[in-house]
Amino acid sequence: MRENRLRRLWRDGKKTVNGWLGIPSSFSAELMAHQGYESITVDMQHGVVDYATMVEMLQAISTTDTVPMVRVPWREPGIVMKTLDAGAYGIICPMVSSREEAEELVVWGRYPPRGTRSFGPIRASLYAGSDYGRHANAEVLLLAMIETRGGVENLDDILSVEGLDGVYIGPADLSLALGYGAGFDREEPEILEVITRIAERARAHGKFAGIHTMSPAYARRMWDLGFHFVSLMTDARILANATAALLAELRGGAAEAEKGY
C-alpha cells in the first residue's frame, strides 16, 4: 500500500502545511496540489463540495504526491465510509464532543476487528494499491475536530480513544463555543490557553494535532506551539483576498472591505 507520507513526516518531527479546498472544481484542486502543500483537505462540511466533486478533486490531487484528506460534513457513517472508499488518506471529522462520538468515528473508519467499516475500497485500492484492505487501518488518518465546549471538556477522553490518530482545531467554532465571536488567529488568553492545551495533550497521548490559521505568522506560532500541521486559509479566501488587494492596488485606494467568508 502507498504509504501515508504525513505519518512519516510527523514522526520525523517535520511540520507540514495543509491546503484547504472549498471551491468545487477538480481543476483548481489540481492547481493547488502543485503549489507545494504536504497535504490538502477537501472540505465537504463548509466547502461547496459534495461527494461527486470530492472524488474528482481527490483524483486531481492524486496527480501529485500531496496527501489527500477530506473533512466530512458530519459524523455520519454513510459519508465517512464513502469518503474512505474514494481514497482519502485522512478524515477530519467536525464537532467531536465526547469519547462516544470519537469512538463512532473510529468504528466507522476502521476495518474489523477495530471497527466495522464496510469493505469496498473501490477507488482507494487504485490509489493505494491492491493491498489497501490489509494496511488501511494503519495508514489512514482519523482526526477529530475539537471545537465545541464538550470537545474541550472531554479532551483527554477523546484523545484516549484507540484508533483515533489526532485532533484538529476549528478556531471559529471553538471561539463561538467559548463565548467569543467567530474568527481565526485568536489572541484572547482563554482561547490561546485552550489551543495550547490541545496541542500539549495530543502529544502527551502520542497523537497528532493540527489547527486552521489565516496568516503565515500565526501558522508559524502554531508550529512552535507543537502542532504537527497547520492549514493556511482556504482556496476561496486566498482568491478573494488576493483579488481585492490587486484591485485596490490598481485603483490606488485601500482594499475594499472584503466580501465573503
User: Binding to a copy of itself (CB under 8 A): which residues in 124-183?
Assistant: 124-127, 129-130, 132-134, 147-148, 170, 172-173, 176-177, 179, 181-182
Identify which of 71, 66, 16 has the alpha carbon closest to the alpha carbon of residue 42. 71
Torsion of CA 124, 126, 130, 132, to 10 degrees: -20
Torsion of CA 25, 78, 92, 103, to 10 degrees: 180
Choosing from 5, 45, 196, 226, the residue that interacts with a copy of itself (CB under 8 A) is 45
Cβ nearer to a copy of itself, comparing 157 with 240: 240
In the complex, least distance from residue 77 CB atom to a copy of itself, rounded to whole angstroms: 5
The conformation of residue 66, written as its DSSP 8-state character, comes to: P
Q: Interface with a copy of itself includes 74 (CB under 8 A)?
A: yes
Q: Interface with a copy of itself includes 118 (CB under 8 A)?
A: yes
Give Cα 70 distance to the centre of its chain: 7
Q: Interface with a copy of itself includes 34 (CB under 8 A)?
A: yes
The conformation of residue 117, written as its DSSP 8-state character, comes to: P
Q: Is 228 a catalytic residue?
A: no
Helix (H, G, I), strand (E, B) or coil at 143: strand
Count residues near a copy of itself (CB under 8 A): 98
- Judge contact between 224 and 13, C-beta under 8 A: no
Q: Interface with a copy of itself includes 189 (CB under 8 A)?
A: no
Element (H, E) at 172: helix 171-177
Give the bridge partners for 231, in sequence order. Answer: 18, 212
Choosing from 18, 39, 59, 137, the residue that interacts with a copy of itself (CB under 8 A) is 59
Chain positions 231 to 260 lying near a copy of itself, rule: CB under 8 A, are 232-233, 235-236, 238-244, 246-247, 249-251, 256-260
Q: Interface with a copy of itself includes 19 (CB under 8 A)?
A: yes
Cβ nearer to a copy of itself, comparing 148 with 161: 148
Q: Interface with a copy of itself includes 25 (CB under 8 A)?
A: yes
Q: Interface with a copy of itself includes 66 (CB under 8 A)?
A: no
Identify which of 46, 51, 39, 30 has the alpha carbon closest to the alpha carbon of residue 9. 39
Q: Interface with a copy of itself includes 98 (CB under 8 A)?
A: no
Catalytic residue (one of 46, 135, 205, 212): 46
Cell matching residue 165: 490518530
Choosing from 1, 6, 42, 60, the residue that interacts with a copy of itself (CB under 8 A) is 60
Amino acid at 125: S
Question: What are the catalytic residues?
Answer: 46
